[in-house]
Amino acid sequence: SYPLFLGALIVLAAGITCLQVAANPYVTVLGKPETASSRLNLTQAFNSLGTFLAPFFGGLLILSSAPKTADQIRAMAPDAALAYRLHEAATVKMPYVGLGIALVLLAVAIGTFKLPKIEHAQHKVGEKVNDSIWKHPNLIFGAIAIFVYVGAEVSIGSFLVNYFAQPEIGGLTEKVAASFVAFYWGGAMVGRFIGSALLQKMKTGGLLGICAVCAAGLVAISMLTSGHFAMYSIILVGLFNSIMFPSIFTLGVAELGPLTGDGSGIMIMAIVGGAIIPVAQGWIADHIGIHHAFFLPVICYVYILFFALSGSKPNSERYAKA
């Protein structure tokens, strides 16, 4: 039933959230602080690899080889239409069952691993910690940065099909436009592998600032131009989005010590920006048009530039004596 399916998706989303809260800070503190962003970018690159490949495998396993159009379904007899819809709905069962079994096996495998304990970055339940997450401005600014980053990334990705369909941009059909969206998300995957290598040599804040400027510039160029130039400039934003989440995360939880887990929860909670900012951009697009509604992601990237240059400073730098 639909309620059961929807409930299962909510459980799945909650589980992924818990995984992010636990895994991201663990990768961050598992090694030298100077290369924390590099490690998290590498792990997140495989996340992006899954995001890039999953739609292709999902299409092969779930979508019908010859799906009927809405007009064809309306032309069918009621019993035949019902049977067709039930058959289409049933195609998701086995792929999801297989995915569930794979996740259970993965959980068992991870449970058997003896992962090293990071004593300085955890505290036991009931243990008093002489500190507060609210005393770390880099965490607060970082949570806002995660909010606007995810919001900007999802906003752009969500509007690309409609954007490319605009006569002055690409005039593409939905099917053709959707194929170009894969390059936007694929750019994030490629960029994280490249970023992981660059962050071995560069400071995280510096590279994050460069990417924020490039992303804001590309969106602005797309807004001010038309045709294929506007198309490819907005697609290229995905490449510069790539290192933002891991970099913002590691800068935000820097020097939290035993509060690292609590700070991670705040950072992951800020992902809700991906549900709020796209709605705001949609409202703007309804009033001024989709082409110029992209000024909202530009504002988001400007804030990320502020975080990279100033807001990300941990307390040891922020309150250092001259």
pLDDT confidence of residue 297: 95
pLDDT confidence of residue 63: 58
Q: Return all residues near 221 (Cβ < 8 A) that are at least 6 apart.
A: 229, 230, 233
C-beta separation of 138 from 254 below 8 A: yes
CA distance 274 to 279: 9
> Is 321 strand, coil or helix?
coil
Distances (CA, A) of 10 to 1, 62, 91: 14, 20, 20
CA distance 163 to 170: 8
C-beta separation of 147 from 273 below 8 A: yes
| 8-state DSSP, 76 | S
pLDDT in tens, the chain (322 residues): 678 878 888 888 888 878 777 777 777 777 777 777 788 878 888 877 777 777 667 666 665 556 666 777 778 888 887 787 777 777 777 777 888 888 889 888 878 877 666 655 555 555 566 778 888 899 999 999 999 999 999 999 889 988 998 999 888 887 788 878 888 888 888 888 898 889 888 899 999 999 999 999 999 999 999 888 999 999 999 999 989 988 999 999 888 887 887 888 898 889 999 999 999 999 999 999 999 999 999 999 999 999 999 988 988 887 765 4
